Amino acid sequence: MIGLGSDVRERDLQHIASELGNSNDPLQQLRDKAQFELSEKNELQQLLAEQSKRYQELNKEYILFKEKTFDILEQEKKIVEMLQSELEKKKRFQLEAAHLKKEMEALERRTVQLTRKYHSLKQSKLGKLTTMYWKIRKRLTRRRS
């Protein structure tokens, strides 16, 4: 917006233009020049108003864009946090799986050792006698029942 000084100048230009309208050719030129400056000033004021309106619209769009961008960044931050949490869980499960695998392998080795001992004992003389003893005792227990 242009202040009061421009309104005074505009009235002066209009006054000068009206006075010049009654004069000869050089005065007509001055009147035309004043009229041209007045129309140019009005056009510039209109352009300024349009640019101001456009600036306000762009500023609103910018603010909306910033808000949307902030919301998107917050969502992405939550997603990253969830992914980090899932990665930590995955690492824990992998460590637990590795631990369980080692434990299972140790148990399988122990089972193999005990199976060998069992077969060795069963095939020995004392083992055969023990096996016969338990078969006989089992039969006797069935007869009593």
pLDDT at 77: 96
Q: What is the pLDDT of residues 21-45, one digit of tens each?
A: 555 577 788 888 889 999 999 999 9
pLDDT at 56: 96
Which residue ranges in the chain fall short of pLDDT 50? 1-2
pLDDT at 1: 45
How many Cα atoms within 13 Å fall on the side-chain side of residue 123? 6
